[in-house]
Copies of this chain bind each other. A is one copy, B any other.
């Protein structure tokens, strides 16, 4: 059987691999989020507020941290606050700003959702050789935490 000519480039572009995978992963999370009555951006907010020990001091900082526009998260914060999942109070030291913090029930929800999401991920990752799995996750964290400018030169 003839093989045809080999491709000029031995591998696909990184973006062509990663972007579709990201879409698939988001779609796979959707049913879990829905069961818990929380949207993707709201979950991202809970994750961001529950990662450090100190509360976030401005909404703009939170928006940037999760890669969203500051105007985009307002309705998300309204909803989370109304449901008692976050606290949002004027900063005594600068009353223009709103200090944000997760509440105990917000933390509980985040934990329940994340446990399900990661359990689902683990079932898929289980197909990988243990060594590849570890190297993949480690490398992925490194690449994600690189500055955007590092990719542009």
Contacts and interface: CB of A to CB of B under 8 A. Distances in A.
Given A7-B51, A11-B137, A148-B28, A19 B17 contact: no
A13 B121 contact: yes
Interface residues of A, number: 59
User: What is the interface of chain A mostly: helix, strand, loop, or mixed?
Assistant: helix
- State the copy count for this chain: 2
Given A18-B22, A120-B152, 20 more contacts: A8-B114, A11-B137, A12-B47, A12-B141, A13-B118, A14-B25, A14-B121, A15-B29, A18-B18, A19-B22, A19-B26, A20-B67, A20-B144, A21-B140, A21-B144, A24-B148, A24-B151, A124-B146, A132-B135, A136-B143
